[in-house]
Amino acid sequence: MHYKIADGIYWVGVVDWDIRNFHGFTYTTSRGTTYNAYLIVDEKPTLIDTVPQQFYDEMLANIKEIIKPEEIAYLIANHGELDHSGSVVNILKAAPKAKLVCSTHCQGTLKRYFGSRLGRDSAVATQDYQFDPQVVKTGQSIKIGKRTLKFIEAPMLHWPDSMFTYLPAVALAMAGAPAEALASSEPPAKHGSAQAGDETDAILFPNDAFGQHIASSARFADQIDETVLMDEAAKYFANILAPFGSLIVKKIEEVQKMNIPINMIAPSHGLIWRSDSGVPPQAGRTHQRINPGKIIQSYLDWSKGETNGGVVIVYETMWGGTAKLARALADGITAEGVKVNIYQVPGTDRSDIIKEILLNRGLLVGSSTHNNDMLPNLAGLLYDLSGLRIKGKIGAAFGCFGWAGGAIEAIEEELKETTVEVVNALPGVKFSPAPEEIAKTVEFGKDFARRVKAKNGTSSQK
Ligand code: FEO
């Protein structure tokens, strides 16, 4: 079912209620996700992005509720990853007159996935499509009728081929007639021309940027609980976009310098961010609107290493000794008035732990020694974390050993690789901590908390 998000602009994507792992098994999507595609009905109907190929029929049905697919004049491919480009060829075949619009890099991505001779992915049914796209660069635009679409290349948000599409606000016709209610699932009485009183909002279509993996019947961010929304937005940033933090800051600053109004951010996953500007009250809205500026500021904060100032303790244990140390550390940290949470691996979801590490300042990592090294599940977490290069953390290692150590040194090495500022470790404990070692561990926790507070005071980290 389609969903009207503004006058003449429709969500025609798909909700994936079932997906629980994304990017293979690198990211858990416990709340599912959506693949957002948007149809702009103007003199030259334009589709922005598509959906995975297995959902093509559902997207096509959504489009057919509004226009005949063959009327599509432009297909904007903001990104070549298959969750957005999987149905590009299908759409181009259903709309033979449609012009594909994409970045230079995206053209290359699509040819690799779908072009003749170069197609390698056996899951992709069509590998022989001959692309003839209109390649666009930052600052270029296309006029689709009364509206004009502008393009902003955004490499590494999420891939080198990524691009934002911006739709400036425009008064489409003479005022006087009431605008159609938002969120209507009714098709427009007539398409191809603006309705009296229509006004298009200023909308940024940034593809992966500002998204969240949430399956929902709601389409707008203000229609779900804000805590859930921001938690999933942070998880998405931590696990997908964190390595590109410096590029994100530059891109946001570049867009801010353009001084373009943004009343709505319509990402390719999850809920749409909108402000109150120019938008009439909507039936069914249960939460206060969240200005798009909130997610933009959150991206700046997360990219720069701003945190909530708390501590995350992550550990893996064989016989419980390292678990006792973790709890003693938490007691010391709590005594200093610093928030702390403990997560055991493999019992806690790795993607969720990485999100918590993003949001907190301190990171204490513990393991029993096993084969002169840390335990393997913890090693997997730290290996993943090292590639994400999350900024602004202070950390230390701890753990128990039997007859020879090794885990603490291995953890410290990995933390340094992860750009964590590592302080001296808690000395390793033989087998299981005695009461006096527990007391020393509590003191270590207090000292670590004071360091965290000091680092919080000198934030932001670059
Ligand atoms: Fe980079 Fe949602 O794909």
pLDDT tens across 383-410, in order?
A: 999 999 999 999 999 999 999 999 999 9
Residues with CB under 6 A from ligand 1: 79, 81, 83-84, 158-159, 208, 268-269
What pLDDT does residue 172 have? 60
pTM above 0.85, yes or no: yes
* Residue 233 scores a pLDDT above 70: yes
83 is catalytic: yes
Q: What confidence score (pLDDT) does residue 178 get?
A: 33
208 tagged catalytic: yes
In the set 2, 79, 105, 370, the catalytic residue is: 79
Question: Per residue in 422-445, pLDDT tens?
Answer: 999 899 999 999 999 999 999 999
Q: Which residue is it, tokens 């090292």?
A: 386
pLDDT at 290: 67
- The CATH number of the domain covering residues in 3-304: 3.60.15.10
What does the pLDDT look like over 57-89, one tens digit per residue?
Answer: 999 999 999 999 999 999 999 999 999 999 999
Is 158 one of the catalytic residues? yes
* Predicted pLDDT of residue 462: 37
What is the pLDDT at residue 127?
A: 57
Residue with the smallest CA separation from ligand 1 atom 3 is 81
Contact call for residues 88 and 50 (beta carbons, < 8 A): yes
Q: Look at ligand 1, atom 2, and give the residue with the nearest C-alpha.
A: 208
Q: How far is the CA of 229 from the centre of ligand 1 (A)?
A: 18
Instruction: Please give the distance, rounded to the nearest whole angstrom, from the Cα atom of residue 248 to the centre of ligand 1.
Output: 15
Ligand 1 atom nearest residue 268's Cα: 2
Average pLDDT over residues 123-134: 69
Distance 196 CA to ligand 1 centre (A): 37
From the list 2, 84, 105, 269, the catalytic residue is: 269
Tell me which of 153, 208, 222, 412 is the catalytic residue: 208
- Can 383 be counted among the known catalytic residues? no
As a whole number, mean pLDDT of residues 107-118 equals 78
Mean pLDDT of the chain: 89
Please state, as a whole number, how many other Cβ atoms lie within 10 Å of the Cβ of residue 440. Answer: 17
Conformational region of residue 60, where left means phi above 0, alpha means psi within -120 to 50, and beta covers everything else: alpha
Looking at 12-16, 119-123, 146-150, 378-382, which range is the least confident one? Answer: 119-123
Is the confidence at residue 216, as pLDDT, over 90? yes
The one catalytic residue among 16, 49, 83, 414:
83
CA of 157 relative to ligand 1 center, distance in Å: 9
User: Is the CB of residue 158 less than 8 Å from the CB of residue 164?
Assistant: no
Banded model confidence at residue 104, pLDDT cuts 50, 70, 90: very high
Give distance in angstroms: CA of 337 to centre of ligand 1: 39
Q: What is the pLDDT of residue 254?
A: 93
pLDDT at 212: 98
What is the model's pLDDT at position 344? 98
In the chain, % of residues over pLDDT 90:
80
**Confidence (pLDDT) at 280:** 46
Q: How confident is the model at residue 181 (pLDDT cuts 50, 70, 90)?
A: very low
Q: Which two tokens stand for residue 418?
A: 């992860």
Exposure class string for 265-297: b at 16+ Cβ within 10 A, else e: bbbbbbbbbbbeebbeeeeeeeeebbbbebbbe
pLDDT score for 23: 87
Confidence band of 223 (pLDDT split at 50, 70, 90): very high
Q: Is 236 a catalytic residue?
A: yes
The domain ranges of the chain are 3-304, 311-458
**Which pLDDT score, from 0 to 100, does residue 147 have?**
96
Fold of the domain spanning 311-458: Rossmann fold (3.40.50)
Ligand 1 atom nearest the C-alpha of 207 is 2
What local confidence, expressed as pLDDT, does residue 292 receive? 86
For 334, the token pair is 């709590």
Report CA(23)–ligand 1 centroid distance (Å): 9
d(CA 87, CA 52): 6
Please state, in angstroms and rounded to a whole number, the distance separating the CA atoms of residues 259 and 137.
Answer: 19
8 Å CB contact between 100 and 134? yes
Residue 184: the pLDDT is 35
Looking from the CA of residue 208, the nearest atom of ligand 1 is 2
